[in-house]
Amino acid sequence: MLDRRDEPDEADDGRRTTVNLVAAIVCLLLLGAGLFLVESMDRARKAQNCFEAGRRNCAALSTP
């Protein structure tokens, strides 16, 4: 026979859904932070290569 503790109830389902949503949000935040770090490291690498080549105008120009 099934014990009462083995049956899922509404509170468990709601808590599980909340935990899954929080985990998905944390994963998305980690992914965004990783992409930001990769992009900033790429910009720094390009600037460093420019400086090492002896160029003086290595600043990124912003276009309107």
Mean pLDDT by 10 residues, the chain (64 residues): 62 89 98 97 92 83 64
Q: What is the pTM of this model?
A: 0.66
Distance in angstroms (rounded) separating the CA atoms of residues 13 and 7: 11
Distance in angstroms (rounded) separating the CA atoms of residues 18 and 11: 11
Predicted pLDDT at 32: 98
Q: Which two tokens stand for residue 50?
A: 């420019």
Predicted pLDDT at 34: 98
Predicted pLDDT at 63: 64
